[in-house]
Amino acid sequence: MLKAYDKTREQETRNKKENKHNESVPKGLFRIEIIMQDRIIKKLFGDKTSFSDILTKDSLIAIIQEYKRIFCDELIEHDVKTYLSGCKWKLIESLTQTDNVAETIAKERELIPDVEVLKKAMSKYLKLRHKPTSNLSRDIKAYAERYALPQDTILTLHDFKESCG
């Protein structure tokens, strides 16, 4: 099971409920938890599921490989790529309807998890309209700065996947 949530907001809410003084919680802290169910643990370790059995070098390697399979092979390859492609096509549709990049960004801001998605959408849109793409990188950089668009999300996922081996 995968849990992904805004850890900053969760911590601030907990502090408020418990009437704790607001400790310094880093802003923008995103947390991802992978919870392995009993059947996965049994598949990996059989009946040897005590801490002393699981906390061995070979067992930790097995856990890391399973984490890689879940996060990289399933989430990134299937869910994330499908989501990014959907965002790109919705942005192309919006660009086609408005013929205005700034209006599309304002209207569809949540569809831009990374400037690369906007860049791919604009590239496809410009080609469909038979317009030049020679200034696209410069324009994307300007839009990213002007509208504080997220950057390097896809690169971070790529680097993470590469580091998993």
pTM reported for the whole predicted model:
0.68
Average pLDDT over residues 138-153: 92
Angle at 16 between CA 14 and CA 21, to 5 degrees: 105
Q: pLDDT at position 36, please?
A: 77
User: How far apart (Å, rounded) are the C-alpha atoms in residues 53 and 59?
Assistant: 8
Q: Which of 148, 78, 137, 68 is nearest to 112 (CA)?
A: 148
Q: Is the pLDDT of residue 26 over 80?
A: no
Q: Is the pLDDT of residue 22 over 70?
A: no
What's the distance, CA 64 to chain centroid?
20
Render the burial of 76-93: b for 16+ CB within 10 Å, e for the rest: beeebeeebeebbebbbe
What's the distance, CA 140 to chain centroid?
20
Q: pLDDT at position 84, please?
A: 94
DSSP 31: E
Q: Which of 120, 116, 118, 119 is nearest to 108 (CA)?
A: 118
Res. 76 pLDDT band, cuts 50 70 90: confident
Average pLDDT over residues 63-80: 84
Q: Is the pLDDT of residue 82 over 80?
A: yes
Q: pLDDT at position 93, please?
A: 95
Give the model confidence (pLDDT) of 95-122 as tens digits: 999 989 999 998 898 999 999 999 999 9
Higher pLDDT, 14 or 128: 128
Average pLDDT over residues 7-29: 78
User: How far apart (Å, rounded) are the C-alpha atoms in residues 43 and 66?
Assistant: 11
Q: Which amino acid is at 136?
A: L
Q: Is the pLDDT of residue 23 over 80?
A: no
Q: What is the mean pLDDT of the chain?
A: 86
Contacts 24+ apart (CB under 8 A), 82-91: 83/113, 84/113, 84/114, 84/117, 84/154, 87/111, 87/112, 87/113, 87/117, 87/121, 88/117, 88/120, 88/121, 88/124, 89/121, 91/117, 91/118, 91/121, 91/122, 91/125
